[in-house]
Amino acid sequence: MRTPLEVVIGSCEAAAALLSELADGEGHGLRLARARLHVALCSRCAGVVAELDATIEALRGLGRARPDPHPELVPAVIERIRRERR
């Protein structure tokens, strides 16, 4: 049986189904508004959304990261590959 709060803000399962749309920050409509309200009032789902946001932010950071170039290492790497092929 659903609690009165669940009737208003929907279930965790219903909110979870919309988490990726919520994380995108896009999307409109009553379903998403209800899911946002659910997350605002449900500590369990708020934790899931916070982790999802952190993961997305970490992945974006990976996309920006560029390894420092060390051109002086190239000859040594090539030499090592040659040795290991023998």
Name the residues that contact Zn ion, by CB under 5 A: 12, 42, 44-45
Q: Least distance to Zn ion from the beta carbon of 36, Å? A: 12
Token readout for 24 is 């995108």
Nearer to Zn ion, 23 or 74 (CB): 23
Q: Whole-number minimum distance, CB 2 to Zn ion, in Å?
A: 12
Q: Which of 47, 40, 39, 43 is nearest to 17 (CA)?
A: 39
Question: 4 or 67: whose CB is closer to Zn ion?
Answer: 4
Residue 31 neighbours by CB under 8 Å, 6+ apart: 18
Q: Whose Cβ is closer to Zn ion: residue 12's or residue 52's? A: 12
Question: Which stretch of DSSP H or E encloses residue 4?
Answer: helix 4-9
Q: Rounded to whole angstroms, how far apart are CA atoms 18 and 35? A: 7
What's the closest the beta carbon of residue 56 comes to Zn ion, in angstroms? 19
